[in-house]
Amino acid sequence: MSQGAPLRRTFVLAEFAGPEPLFAAARKVRAAGHTELDAHMPYPVHGADEALGLKRSPVPIIALVGGLAGVVSAYLMAWWMNAVDFRINVAGRPFDALPAFVPIMFELGVLFASLAIFVSAIFLFGLPRVHHPVFELDEFRSASVDKFWLSVRTTPDAVAPLREELERAGASYVGSVEGEP
Amino acid sequence: MKISPWQGGGRAIGIATAVAVAGLGLTALGAAFDPRRALWAYLVAFTDWVGIAVAALILLMSFHAANARWPVAVRRVLEVIPLSTALFLVLFLPVLLGARELFPWAGPQQLAGEAQRAMEHRKSWLNLPFFTVRAAFYFAVWIGFSHLFHRWSVEQDRSGAPGLSLKAHRLGAGGLPLLALTLTFAAFDWWMSLTPQFYSTIFGVYYFAGSFDAAIAVLIIAAAWGRREGIFGGALTTAHFHSLGKLLLAFTAFWAYIAFSQFLLIWIANIPEEVPWYQVRNRGAWLPVGVFLALFHFVVPFFVLLSRRIKREPEKLQWVAAWILVVHFVDVYWVVMPHLSPAAPHPHFTDLTALLGVGGAAVAFTLWRLRGRSAVPVGDPYLQESLRYDPR
């Protein structure tokens, strides 16, 4: 079901022996104007986000908005149930009793914040996705064993110079893949 | 790592001493005209600052207990702050001598009916000789512990013996329960017994929560100041301030949690022995003070401290920390002063002079103890790890 070039994505993949040469190569590639970089490493390495030029994650803001939404909706719920829908006089305490609502507001704030993190993180990770073009390269399997991979998204006509540049940066293997998004 | 002993700070010590002399002098002058009012102002100032010193000791012991490595670079400052408990032993004398003016159970006055009966009932605990013995015990624990940790750390500067870290680890972990008990009973003695018929088991934690928040604030201010003065030789990094800011955020929330828990339980149970304590504070001119605390001791600092940027910039973080010290004072004032003037707060100039006087004395004493030695524990085996600390 090939629809032509715009829907296809091209990645150049380069294998490195360690994180430092990978970061150095990433900085060079970024200096050359490429912006969509990713690193695939057997374990998390400090400083990768900075070397890849990743923006700060939006998750904290999403969590804050989720938490505040939880607090507000908990108050509205408690207020509607206790002060509007089903008023019960408990030893003369006010119907709209904010102190008594606070534990619920706190709990729902935590719940909404964590759900917001969970759901937004799934989408920010790029899920749901059943397949990614990088897996078409057999050599890429070493990314989960002992090698460090840099992937750069690019256009088909820029593949050749980019491969050359990555080889010069010390990559032990450079390949490119194309695939549906 | 080579950091030469810190010899500066003469000017800062001079200023702090001048503030102490002026503040305590003016408070004494106020006492000449209105001894009772000045004494109450002094109780607020004393409990405010001594709580911070003891909370700093608890923070230090928690670090030792957890074998915490990142705070090693800033630990010498934290070791010196609790040494001021020796000064507070002297500063406690006015409270002890004026106990009859402060604590209803110590004075000659009669309370009405039920309250008088409750007070009689508690006479075996709330009497001046036992009160004095207890205070002596608290100070013995605080002074003893703070000197041990400081001495071992200074010894390690010279010898670098890793065994001293192990000793501090053991005493830190083993001594924490004793610190928790002494601070709790100090809160019962110096704050809660102002209303002898009132009791709240969470009260000690409340004193701890506010003091701990303020102690972290003091540490941040000291670290930011010391970095400007260059006393750490570049050992403190953005990452250290980021983590101190996170601690400040956490314990600002902890204070709110404890303060609200105490209020909610008493409010919802509505028991005659407990609820008057809040009735006084939820009426008239004291109510805005409580609302102010909820907003400016919790809501505003909480959202400000959520910002990563502010936590990573010592020049900004120190102002948030200074604000925490201001609202901590308001908190202490709100706990103590309604006993003196239940209808409304009556500010008096001694409120300010006592606060600055006691605080100035504590700062001068602490700086004087910090002087003459390296401001970083150079012999600590974990120092290198602390210098590399960068968790992001």
* A49 lies in the same domain as A65: no
* pLDDT tens-digit readout, B175-202: 999 999 999 999 999 999 888 778 888 8
**A108, part of any domain:** yes
**A84, part of any domain:** yes
ipTM: 0.77
A161 or B205: which carries more pLDDT confidence? B205
* A63 lies in the same domain as A48: no
Mutate to test the interface with B, among A71, A89, A102 (most CBs of B within 10 A): A102
List Cα–Cα distances, B221 to B75, B318, B319, B323, in angstroms: 14, 5, 8, 11
Q: How far does the CA of residue B317 sit from the closest CA of chain A (Å)?
A: 20
* A119 lies in the same domain as A71: yes
* A101 lies in the same domain as A114: yes
- Does the pLDDT value for residue B45 go beyond 90? yes
Are B392 and A93 within 8 A, CB to CB? no
Average predicted confidence (pLDDT) for chain B: 91
Angle at which helices B286-293 and B314-336 pack, to 10 degrees?
A: 150
Question: What integer is the mean pLDDT of B329-340?
Answer: 93
Please tell me if residue B268 touches chain A, with a CB cutoff of 8 Å.
yes
- Could you give the dihedral angle defined by the CA atoms of residues B109, B115, B118 and B124, in that order, rounded to the nearest 10 degrees? -20
The H or E element containing residue A177 is: strand A173-179
How many beta-carbon pairs below 8 A join chains A and B?
A: 18
Both ends of chain A: CA-CA distance in Å?
Answer: 13
* A48 lies in the same domain as A65: no
* A66 lies in the same domain as A53: no
CA distance B330 to B259: 14
Question: What integer is the mean pLDDT of B239-260?
Answer: 95
Percent of chain B with pLDDT over 90: 66
pLDDT at position B2, please? 59
The CATH number of the domain holding residue A18 is 3.30.70.120
pLDDT bucket at A71, cuts 50 / 70 / 90: very high
**A2, part of any domain:** no
Domain count, chain A: 2
- DSSP states along B236-282: --HHHHHHHHHHHHHHHHHHHHHHHHHHHHHHHH--TTTHHHHHHHT
**A4, part of any domain:** no
Please tell me if residue A99 touches chain B, with a CB cutoff of 8 Å.
yes
**A97, part of any domain:** yes
> Of the given ranges (A23-32, B67-76, B183-192), which has the lowest mean pLDDT?
A23-32
* pLDDT tens-digit readout, B196-248: 778 888 899 999 999 999 999 999 999 999 888 888 887 888 999 999 999 99
**A1, part of any domain:** no
- Does the pLDDT value for residue A7 go beyond 80? no
Please tell me if residue B390 touches chain A, with a CB cutoff of 8 Å.
yes
**A68, part of any domain:** yes
The partner residues of A11 in beta bridges, in order of sequence, read A153, A177
pLDDT at position A3, please? 46
Give the closest residue to B355 by CA, choosing from B55, B90, B94, B46.
B46
pLDDT bucket at A35, cuts 50 / 70 / 90: confident
Mutate to test the interface with A, among B249, B266, B267, B291 (most CBs of A within 10 A): B267
Sequence-ordered list of residues with C-beta below 8 angstroms from that of B259, at least 6 positions apart, any chain = B206, B209, B210, B293, B297, B298
Give the closest residue to B308 by CA, choosing from A68, A118, A52, A61.
A61
Q: Which residues in chain B are closer than 8 Å to A91, comparing Cβ atoms?
A: 270
Please tell me if residue B263 touches chain A, with a CB cutoff of 8 Å.
yes
* A96 lies in the same domain as A148: no
Query: Which residues form the domain of A42?
Result: 9-57+132-179
Q: How far does the CA of residue B197 sit from the closest CA of chain A (Å)?
A: 24
Are A46 and B260 within 8 A, CB to CB? no
Going by the DSSP 8-state scheme, the letter that residue A55 receives in this structure is P
* pLDDT tens-digit readout, B275-312: 888 988 988 899 999 999 999 999 999 999 999 899 99
Q: How far does the CA of residue A104 sit from the closest CA of chain B (Å)?
A: 13
Nearest CA in chain B to A101: B264
**A111, part of any domain:** yes
Question: What integer is the mean pLDDT of B240-263?
Answer: 94
pLDDT bucket at B101, cuts 50 / 70 / 90: confident
CA distance A33 to A45: 24
Q: Is the pTM of this model over 0.80?
A: yes
Q: How far does the CA of residue A138 sit from the closest CA of chain B (Å)?
A: 34
Average predicted confidence (pLDDT) for chain A: 83
Question: What integer is the mean pLDDT of A124-129?
Answer: 83
